[in-house]
Amino acid sequence: MTLIKSISGIRGTIGGKVGDNLTPVDAVKFASAYGTFLKRNINKDKLKVCIGRDARISGPMIHNLVVNTLIGLGIDVIDLGLSTTPTVEVAVPLEQADGGIILTASHNPKQWNALKLLNAKGEFLSGADGAQILEIAETEAFDFALVDDLGELTENNAYMDIHIDEVLALPLVDTDLVKSKKYKVVVDGVNSSGGIIIPKLLEEMGVEVVKLYCEPNGHFPHNPEPLKEHLGDICKLVVDEQADFGIVVDPDVDRLAFISNDGEMFGEEYTLVAVADYVLSKTPGNTVSNMSSSRALRDITLKHGGDYQASAVGEVNVVELMKSTHAIIGGEGNGGIIYPELHYGRDALVGVALFLTYLANQEQTVTQLRASYPQYFMSKNKIELTPQIDVDAVMKQIATIYSKENISTIDGVKIDFEKEWVHLRKSNTEPIIRIYTEAPTQNEADVLAERFVGELKQIAAV
C-alpha cells in the first residue's frame, strides 16, 4: 500500500493508514491544499473549479470528499461527473474556471486513485506550483469559509459530448470522408469512461462499433495499462469480427493504443508516429516526445522537414518543450497524443479522430500502414523498489560505467548507443525503476533490457 506525493498531484491505494495510503483524510487534506493554493494565487472574490472522475469503484467516495472540501473553502464547483482527463482539460477554459481536478489513477489497477491537478488553462501544474501545494499540505495552513461564504455546486454532465464536438470541429478531422469508408472498429473501454466516450465519437464519425468491456462499473477486466500482454481478448475479437482495427484506452482516456486488422498490436509508440505523420503532411512543423519514446517520431519529423526534440518524461515537461519549440504535435510513446490545436494535454479522442481521417486518406489497411514506418522495437521492464535502495546512487554508478557512451542525465539515465538505446528512470507514479530499451529487432531490445535489469539488480543488490 502506497501514497505517492508529487508535483503533479497525489496518488495512492485506497484504505489503510492516514499518510500511508489514499484515505478520506488524505483526499480532504490535498484538496484543501489545492484550494488554498488557488485562493492565495488568484485575486478574485469567487473561484471556480471543474471536477471529473473516471469509473473507479472508489471514484464516488473520493469525488464527494473533494467536491465538498472545495465548497467548504468557499470555491464554486462545476461537477462534470463521470468524465475523462482530456474532457476536464477542455472544460476548464471553456467554463473560464480557475482550475480543475481529475480523480483518476490513470493506468494503475483498481485499488489506486489520485487527484490530478490543473491550472486555469486546463493544463497540469508547473513544478513550482506543485511544490507549493505540497508545502501547504504539509503545514495544513487551511482557512475554510464561513457559512455565508460557502461555494456553490453546479452539475454539468454535457462535457463528454462537448468534448466530442470540439474534436470533430478540428480542421484536420474529416468526418464525411470517414463516414464514406464504413469502418468497423472494436473498442476496449476497460469498463471505465472510455467505454462511453470513444463509442460515441466513433458513431458520430459513421463507424460501426463493436464494444468490449465498455460498461463503466470500475471493475477492470484486465490490467488497465494498454500493453500487449493485457490485450489478448481484443486482439482475438478484431480478427473474429473482421474489423478494420481495434481501439484500447486506459481508464481516464489519455492513452491510446490500436490493434491492427490482423489482430497484432499497432504499437503504443506508433500511435503518436502515425498521427504525427498525418498532421505533419498537412501542416509541417516541429515535434516533441519524451526520452522514453521511439526514435521513429524523429525519423517521421525529419522526413517532413521539421525539427524533433526530446523532453524529460512527464506531460508537463513535454508541454513545456512543445511550447518553447512551437511544436505542432507531440506527446509520449505510451499512446499519449498532444495536439495544441485543441489543448495542451494527452487526448485519446483527438488521436482517434485524426487517425481515422488519416486512414481514410490511405488506400491501405492498418497492418500495411504500420509496416510503412521505420521499424523499431521496444522492451519495457521495471524493478520494484524497496526503501533500502538508494536510487540516485544506483543511477550515478550506471552513468559512470557507461560514461564513454552518449549519455543524458536530464531524467534518470539515457544511454544512446549507435543502433539502440536504454532509458533508466525512477517512476513518478509507482515505487519502481523503469527500464525502457529500443533496438532494430525485438530480440535485441529484449536482450538489452535483460542486460540492464541484471546490472541494476547487481548494483542495487535487489
Q: Could you tell me if 430 and 4 are in contact, meaning their C-beta atoms sit under 8 angstroms apart?
A: yes
Q: Tell me what pLDDT residue 462 has.
A: 53
Fold exhibited by the domain 3-157? Alpha-D-Glucose-1,6-Bisphosphate; Chain A, domain 3 (3.40.120)
What are the counts of helices (DSSP H) followed by strands (DSSP E) for the chain? 15, 20
Could you tell me the pTM of the whole model? 0.92
Residue 106 designated active-site: yes
Of 213, 178, 183, give the one whose Cα is nearest residue 196: 213
- Please tell me if the domain spanning 3-157 has the same topology as the one spanning 377-460: no
Residues 391/382, Cβ–Cβ less than 8 Å: no
Amino acid identity at 432: I
Candidates 3.40.120.10, 3.40.720.10, 3.20.20.480, 3.90.1150.10; CATH matching 163-371: 3.40.120.10
Determine the pLDDT at residue 391.
Answer: 82
Query: What does the block give as the cell for 186?
Result: 472494436
Contact 437, 445 (CB under 8 A): yes
CA distance 138 to 328: 39
Single out the catalytic residue among 8, 32, 58, 106. 106
Domain residue ranges of the chain, discontinuous segments joined by +: 3-157, 163-371, 377-460
CATH 3.40.50.2300 fits 377-460, yes or no: no
Mean pLDDT, contiguous 10-residue spans, the chain (462 residues)? 73 93 96 97 96 98 98 98 98 98 94 96 94 94 96 98 98 98 98 98 98 97 90 97 98 97 94 98 97 93 96 92 98 95 98 98 96 92 81 90 92 92 84 90 96 89 63
